[in-house]
Amino acid sequence: MLLRYLSALMLMFSPFSGVQKHAVPHAQTELHGVDVSHYQFDIDWGMVAEMNPVDFAFVKATEGHDYIDTFFCQNWEDLKQFGIRRGAYHFFRAYGCGEEQAANFLSLVDMHPGDLAPVLDIERIDGVEPEIMLEEARIWLNRIEETLHIKPIIYTNQYFYDRYLAGQFNDYPLWIAKYSEDKPFLSDGETWDFWQYSCKGCVDGISQKVDLNIFPGTKEMLETLCWYPETTQESVTARP
């Protein structure tokens, strides 16, 4: 028991370069990524790309109907420049209009071929009834899919998923936060596509602690969750 506890602590506080030792059970291969926002301040993505095994990065773009992350544009351009697969996420506010929140995201994020599908970060009900939250989230998801012709990725933590989202959005790719050495297991049996397993990663080029993520698959599998223009195909969710 003590050894298991110490192993978990080492994982939570180890440098990013150490995540290659942390394998998802039964996965033949895995890709590693980070997600950031203005909380990480100014990031040296050149150093990140050179010094760390980073296969992808998600960056916060928008929140609610009018908020824009102050570091989004810089992060978005730098990721493109240094060749790190990038994705943008919207922090959803349950009390807000889903249509307006989608418009906020679409007006800011300039998608390029090969970018990861847009992400809806939904992890609080903001004092509204769960049914309202779900309906507005559905509006956001539908608007993004109708505009870009790709299914967005849904991000949440395991507790919020099990309590509010289980059985609601089963045809969308899932990104689940669970800070543990044990992989997420969802109450409805759905398979996750990304696992955010730590919020205390240390990465060269990023001055603050950062979220660490695993995609349990190959680069070709990750490609199926990426956006390309002039397509109307349904998004194929990568299932390792």
What CA–CA distances, in Å, run from 201 to 125, 149, 176, 198? Answer: 27, 34, 17, 6
- Residue 131 CA to residue 135 CA, distance in Å, equals 6
Taking only the tens place, the pLDDT of each residue in 43-60 is 999 999 999 999 999 999
Q: Where are the alpha helices (DSSP H) in 24-129?
A: 45-51, 72-81, 98-108
The mean pLDDT of the chain is 87
- Residue 10 CA to residue 60 CA, distance in Å, equals 28
- Tell me what pLDDT residue 230 has: 72
- Annotated catalytic residue, options 100, 123, 181, 223: 123
Taking only the tens place, the pLDDT of each residue in 129-147 is 999 999 999 999 999 999 9
Taking only the tens place, the pLDDT of each residue in 145-156 is 999 999 999 999
- Residue 181 CA to residue 197 CA, distance in Å, equals 7
Establish whether 30 is a catalytic residue: no
- Residue 18 CA to residue 229 CA, distance in Å, equals 36
Quick one: pLDDT band at residue 239, thresholds 50, 70, 90? Answer: very low
Q: Where are the alpha helices (DSSP H) in the chain?
A: 2-13, 45-51, 72-81, 98-108, 130-148, 158-160, 219-223
- Residue 91 CA to residue 106 CA, distance in Å, equals 13
- Tell me what pLDDT residue 17 has: 41
- Could you please report the per-residue DSSP string of 103-136? HHHHHH----TTPBPPEEE----TTS-HHHHHHH
Most distant CA pair in the chain: distance in Å? 54
Percent of the chain with pLDDT over 70: 84
Taking only the tens place, the pLDDT of each residue in 169-227 is 999 999 999 999 999 999 999 999 999 999 999 999 999 999 999 999 999 999 999 99
- Tell me what pLDDT residue 240 has: 40
Read off the pTM: 0.85
Question: Which pair of structure tokens corresponds to residue 71?
Answer: 């570091």
Does pLDDT of 22 surpass 60?
Answer: no
Domains and CATH numbers, the chain: 49-223 (3.20.20.80)
Write down the number of H helices and E strands in the chain: 7, 9
179 burial type by CB count under 10 A (0-12 exposed, 13-18 middle, 19+ buried): middle
| H or E element, residue 194 | strand 194-201
Does pLDDT of 4 surpass 50?
Answer: no
Quick one: pLDDT band at residue 28, thresholds 50, 70, 90? Answer: low
